[in-house]
Amino acid sequence: MWPMRMASKSESLPDGKGMAPAILNGLSDQIPVGFFLAGSDGELAYVNRWLDESIRTEREAGAGQASSLAHQISEAVKRYAPADKPLSTSITGPRDTNFSLRIFPLRDPADMTLKVFGLVEDVSSKIHSDSKLERKVGELSILCELGKVLTSALKLDEVLGIVLTAVTAGQGLGFNRAFLLLVDQSGSALEGRMALGPSNAEEARRIWDSLSAKDQSLEEVLRSYRSALKKQDAQINLTVRQLRIPLSQQANPLVRCMLEKRAFVVTREQAEPEHDLFRMLQTDTFAVAPLISESKMLGVVVADNLITGKLIEEEDVKLLFICAHHASIAIEKSGLYQELEEKVGRLAEANRRIAEGSRRLLRVERLSILGQITSQLAHELRNPMTVIGGFARSLLRKADANQADEEYLKIMVKETEKMENVLNNVLDFSKPDSAKREMVSLIDLVEQTLEMMEPEMDSAKISVSVFADAKLPPVRVNPDLVRHALLNIFRNAVWAMPNGGMLSIGARAETNTLRLEVKDTGFGICSEHVDKVFDPFFTTNSEACGLGLTIAAHIIRTHGGSIQVQSGQGTGSTFFIKLPLAERPEEKEPPAHKQES
């Protein structure tokens, strides 16, 4: 600016040559810049009106001699004039006024003595706006750092913790305390979620001392928010969780904040009816900013300066508002993340089920291979077993009752009987499911099986009752196989009731399925065995081979059904059997059949 003025002045000189001294005097009186002429000893020879007035105003305001503008100008001239070079410096006047001072040494053409021409400008307002700019830069950097940290936060609690830290950290917004309230799941009330801040002045001092000692950047503070939360949040978090404000209370400042989508300061005087809120927060003044996404109200962030009592300024509220805006985005994002996590969870569950399904298939396949092998093995064993057992019987018939041999022969006979029993069961098990399926009533099969077992039941003192719907729809099964399955299940029940008891059989139709329940009052199955009762060769009965229930389950499953058992030791067992109901007659291939291929 300076050289420009020089240039314009020199250009206008030819016209100004004849300019009356009065005009120049007027100019020097009106220009809002001070200028002076002084000797090199600092003695002011001339001051224009602006400078004169400034000096006078200052004197009237009672500024001390040392800090007065005139004195400081004189001192500067005295110090810098001998250098004989133009120079700029600044002067701080009383009451935060700031001046810039430029001095230009001149040689008096008359006696060549050193004189000084000076310009004085009030720059107080410029400095003020510079500091404002600085503050804005500071705020922007806070928001930038907050944004950076929030970007990487995915969990809601993490987001909330970071926001609270940013609001309270000295490097951040610098509030004493901050509270977060979120709209609950049903969308009917604001609920206190999390808070950060000391509960009293002493605690505050301790925390702030330790924080300032660390000399961290805001980003570092935010990243370590967890440790900050752990140390400070106990009491204040209990308080905040008690807060619950129905959204219907539209006069409540927190609800209003969300509805109006703006941040503001609330004082006790303004909001007297809400004294509860002030009582719970134990504060008289607080700032509140809304957490809102595009479509919905998420909650509010409340901040106050309870400990220091520092006034909450408009700038603080603005910053809180912007901070809350950042937080809203992060909270919404965390919601999406949570949804995503849930979806991932559901997929993992589906995956687990598929894996389980394929394991089950593998088991079926293994069982079928096992079936083939055992079938082969059983036939190979049957001949030698027949020979050994047969000769043992033959010898036993002629043996002398008193000889030890007789006992040994008896053992041989008994053991081969057991062996035969195993082989019979293995063969039944590995028998291919005959394609001969018929439409039958399951309850008829139950009754036929029970009829067959009547002598067994009678001698074991077991009473039998059958409950069934009068008109049960038919099932499409191989009756021989299903009778065999029922026989094995009923035999298991008989064995479980050595001292007699009750066998109840219930049947009812459900959509597409027929449910059969077989309940005994026997000694039950202990919990660690429940899962194993259908496993091949598992038994607690020394007389049995452990295939009865395996075969029963196999038969039920090859018919597209399922079997489960529920039991408690001493309380009896209940077998739950499901069989698919027969398809309508026009459908030639029932799905149950297809599954097996």
Partner 1 sequence: MAINQTRWASPGERKPSNPSGSPTILVVDDEQHLLKLYEKELSEEGYLVRTATDGEEALRMAQSESPDLVILDIKLQNRDGLEVLGELRKISQKVPIILNSAYSTYKSDFQSWLADAYLVKSPNLDKLKEKIRTLLDLKKSG
Q: Does 578 bind partner 1 (CB under 8 A)?
A: no
Beta bridge partners of 101: 89, 120
Provide, rounded to whole angstroms, the least separation between the CB of residue 432 and partner 1: 8
Strands (E), 123-212: 177-183, 189-196
- x/- map, 337-376, partner 1, by CB under 8 A: ----------------------------------------
The only residue of 33, 387, 439, 452 in contact with partner 1, by rule CB under 8 A: 387
Provide, rounded to whole angstroms, the least separation between the CB of residue 420 and partner 1: 6
Q: Does 382 bind partner 1 (CB under 8 A)?
A: yes
Q: Does 410 bind partner 1 (CB under 8 A)?
A: no
Using CA atoms, how far apart are residues 548 and 6, in angstroms rounded to an integer? Answer: 117
Q: Does 208 bind partner 1 (CB under 8 A)?
A: no
Q: Does 406 bind partner 1 (CB under 8 A)?
A: no
Using CA atoms, how far apart are residues 320 and 177, in angstroms rounded to an integer? Answer: 12
Which residue from 432, 430, 418 is spatially nearest to 377, judged by alpha carbons? 430
Using CA atoms, how far apart are residues 262 and 252, in angstroms rounded to an integer? Answer: 14
In three state form, how does the secondary structure of 439-459 look?
Answer: EECHHHHHHHHHHHCHHHHHH
Binding part of the chain for partner 1, among 102-110, 196-204, 317-325, 382-390 by CB under 8 A, reads: 382-390
Beta bridge partners of 502: 463
**What does 468-506 look like in DSSP terms, one character per residue?**
E-SSPPPEEE-HHHHHHHHHHHHHHHHHH-TT-EEEEEE
Binding part of the chain for partner 1, among 85-93, 174-182, 381-389, 523-531 by CB under 8 A, reads: 381-389
User: Any idea what the Cα angle at residue 114 is, between residues 108 and 120, rounded to 5°?
Assistant: 95
Provide, rounded to whole angstroms, the least separation between the CB of residue 391 and partner 1: 6
Q: Does 416 bind partner 1 (CB under 8 A)?
A: yes
Nearer to partner 1, 398 or 471 (CB): 398
Provide, rounded to whole angstroms, the least separation between the CB of residue 381 and partner 1: 8
Nearer to partner 1, 387 or 526 (CB): 387
Q: How many CA atoms lie within 13 A of 191 on its CB side?
A: 9
Q: Does 418 bind partner 1 (CB under 8 A)?
A: no
Residues 6+ apart with CB under 8 A from 392: 409, 412, 413, 416
Q: Does 408 bind partner 1 (CB under 8 A)?
A: no
Q: Does 82 bind partner 1 (CB under 8 A)?
A: no
Nearer to partner 1, 378 or 525 (CB): 378
Q: Does 414 bind partner 1 (CB under 8 A)?
A: no
Nearer to partner 1, 425 or 449 (CB): 425
Residues near partner 1 (CB under 8 A), total: 24
Nearer to partner 1, 184 or 480 (CB): 480
Using CA atoms, how far apart are residues 534 and 224, in angstroms rounded to an integer? Answer: 56
Backbone angles phi, psi at 274, to 5 degrees: -95, 35
Provide, rounded to whole angstroms, the least separation between the CB of residue 477 and partner 1: 17
Q: Does 379 bind partner 1 (CB under 8 A)?
A: yes
Residues 6+ apart with CB under 8 A from 421: 545
The only residue of 372, 394, 403, 459 in contact with partner 1, by rule CB under 8 A: 394
Provide, rounded to whole angstroms, the least separation between the CB of residue 485 and partner 1: 17
Q: Does 420 bind partner 1 (CB under 8 A)?
A: yes
**What does 340-402 look like in DSSP terms, one character per residue?**
HHHHHHHHHHHHHHHHHHHHHHHHHHHHHHHHHHHHHHHHHHHHHHHHHHHHHHHHHHHS-TT
Q: Does 478 bind partner 1 (CB under 8 A)?
A: no
Backbone angles phi, psi at 344, to 5 degrees: -60, -40
Binding part of the chain for partner 1, among 210-218, 360-368, 412-420, 569-577 by CB under 8 A, reads: 412-420
CB atoms near residue 318 (< 10 Å): 14
Provide, rounded to whole angstroms, the least separation between the CB of residue 596 and partner 1: 18
Which residue from 269, 262, 307 is spatially nearest to 287, judged by alpha carbons? 262
Nearer to partner 1, 375 or 492 (CB): 375
Provide, rounded to whole angstroms, the least separation between the CB of residue 399 and partner 1: 14
The only residue of 105, 389, 501, 572 in contact with partner 1, by rule CB under 8 A: 389
Beta bridge partners of 179: 195, 302
Contact call for residues 330 and 163 (beta carbons, < 8 A): yes
In the complex, the residues that contact partner 1 under the rule CB under 8 A are: 378-379, 382-394, 413, 416-417, 420, 424, 427, 431-432, 434
